[in-house]
Structure 1
Amino acid sequence: MDVTRTTDDDHKARWNGTAGNAWVEAQAVLDELMRPFEDLLLEAISPGRGGHVLDVGCGTGGTTVTAARRLGEQGHCVGIDISEPMIAAAEARAARAGVQASFIRADAQDHAFEPATFDAIISRFGVMFFDDPVRAFANLRRAAKSGADLRFIAWRSATENPFMTTAERAAAPLLPNLPTRRPDGPGQFAFADRSKVHHILEESGWTEIAIHPIDVPCTLPERELVGYFTRLGPVGLVLHEADDRTRAQVIETVRAAFEPYVHGEEVRFTGACWLVSARA
Structure 2
Amino acid sequence: MADKVYVDNNEATAAWNTVLFDRFSQYRHIFVVALKRFGDVAIAGQPPRSGDRILDIGCGFGDTAQQLASVAGPESHVVGVDAAERFIEAAQEEAAAAGVENVEFRVADVQTEALSGPYDYAFARMGTMFFANPVAAMRNVRQSLRPGATLVMVVWRRKLDNEWMYRSEEVVDRHVPKPNAEESEALTCGPGPFSMANADTTGDVLKAAGFEQMTFRRVDIDMFVGQDPAEAVEVALALGPAAETVRLAGDDADRVRPLIEQDLLALAGEYQTAAGEIVAPASAWIVSARVPDAG
Normalised to the residue count of structure 2, the TM-score between the two structures is: 0.82
Amino acid at match of 1:151: V
Deviating more after overlay: 205-214 vs 241-250: 241-250
Specify the code of the residue in structure 1 equivalent to 2:73: G
Deviation for aligned residue 1:126: 1.1
| TM alignment of 1:1-20, pairs within 5 A | 7=6, 8-20=9-21
- 2:58 maps to 1:53: no
Q: Equivalent residue for 1:276?
A: 287
Alignment-derived partner of residue 248 in structure 1: 258
Distance 1:127 1:179, change over 3 A: farther
Partner of 1:106: 108
Once the two structures are superposed, residues 82-118 of structure 1 have per-residue CA deviations (whole angstroms, 9 ceiling, x without a partner) of 222222222222122211222122211111122x421
2:272 equivalent to 1:262 = yes
- The aligned residue for residue 186 of structure 1 is 191
Q: CA deviation at 1:245?
A: 6.7
The answer to whether residue 121 in structure 2 is matched with residue 120 in structure 1 is yes
Moved more, 142-151 or 224-233: 224-233
Specify the SS of the correspondent of 2:160.
coil
Q: Which AA in structure 2 matches 1:261?
A: Y
Distance change in 2, residues 1:234/1:218 (3 Å)? closer
Query: Residue in 1 aligned with 2:219?
Result: 214
Please state if 1:229 is matched with 2:240. no
- Give the C-alpha shift of residue 178 in structure 1: 5.4
d(CA) in 2 for partners of 1:28, 1:207: 36
Counting only pairs closer than 5 Å after superposition, residues 129-208 of structure 1 correspond to structure 2 as 129-176=130-177, 186-208=191-213
* Aligned residue type for 1:16: N
Distance 1:271 1:179, change over 3 A: farther
Query: Identity over aligned residues, as a percent?
Result: 29
Gaps of 5+ in 1: none
Secondary structure at 1:55 match in 2: strand
Uncovered stretches (5+) of structure 2, i.e. residues with no partner: 183-189
- What displacement does 1:10 show? 2.7
**TM-fit CA distance, 1:216:** 2.4
**Comparing 143-152 with 34-43, which one deviates more in the overlay?**
34-43
Residue 59 of structure 2 aligns to a residue in which SS? coil
1:234 shift after superposition: 4.0
Residue 179 of structure 1 and its aligned partner are, at CA, apart by 7.0
The DSSP-based 3-state class of the residue aligned with 1:80 is: strand
Paired residue for 1:32?
33
User: CA–CA distance in 1 between the matches of 2:130 and 2:115?
Assistant: 19
Deviation at 1:70, TM superposition (A): 2.0
Distance in 1 separating the partners of 2:125 and 2:4: 19
The answer to whether the Cα contact below 8 Å between 1:21 and 1:86 also exists between their aligned partners in 2 is: no
CA contact (8 A) 1:155 1:189 kept: yes
* Structure 1: distance between partners of 2:56 and 2:180: 28
Q: CA separation of 1:14/1:46 partners in 2, compared to 1, >3 Å: closer, same or farther?
A: closer
Q: How many residues align?
A: 272
Q: Structure 1 residues 230-239 or 160-169, which shifts more?
A: 230-239
Q: CA RMSD in A?
A: 2.6
Contact between 1:178 and 1:235, CA under 8 Å: does it hold in 2? no
**TM-superposition CA deviations, 1:136-193 (whole Å, max 9, x none):** 1111011011211100111111222232122222123444475779xxx822111122
- Please tell me the residue identity of whatever aligns with 1:117: P
